[in-house]
Amino acid sequence: MLDHAVLQSVGKQLLSGTKIEVEGKISRVTRTSSQRLRTAAFELNGRQFQAIEQNAAKPSRWGQLACEGHQVVQFKDVRTNKFVAVSVDGEITEYSQP
């Protein structure tokens, strides 16, 4: 299970600043090359994750929420390259693990 308080903090920091801080480690917020979405890598409990701003142009339910003005951030496990959670206006939803 992921630490929801940390994910909430990362999502808020990603959308509002130029850096994020997790467990005393600072990571820079960058932009993706094609869509110019904000992204940042961070470590949590010894695992590497990437926080990515949701593309509002996507037809998914998360994209629709972003288009409506909600703050949506996806979290990806770098090792498995799978999305593990999403933050919508600070509310964390973990995806089920098979």
For residue 1, the model assigns a pLDDT of 81
pLDDT of 95 strictly over 60: yes
Q: Which residues contact 54 (CB under 8 A, 6 or more apart)?
A: 37, 62, 63, 65, 66, 72, 73, 74, 86
Q: How confident is the model at residue 34 (pLDDT cuts 50, 70, 90)?
A: confident
Beta strands in 6-56 (DSSP E): 19-22, 25-28, 30-31, 38-44, 47-53
Output the pLDDT for position 98: 56
E-assigned strand segments in 1-98: 19-22, 25-28, 30-31, 38-44, 47-53, 72-77, 82-88, 91-94
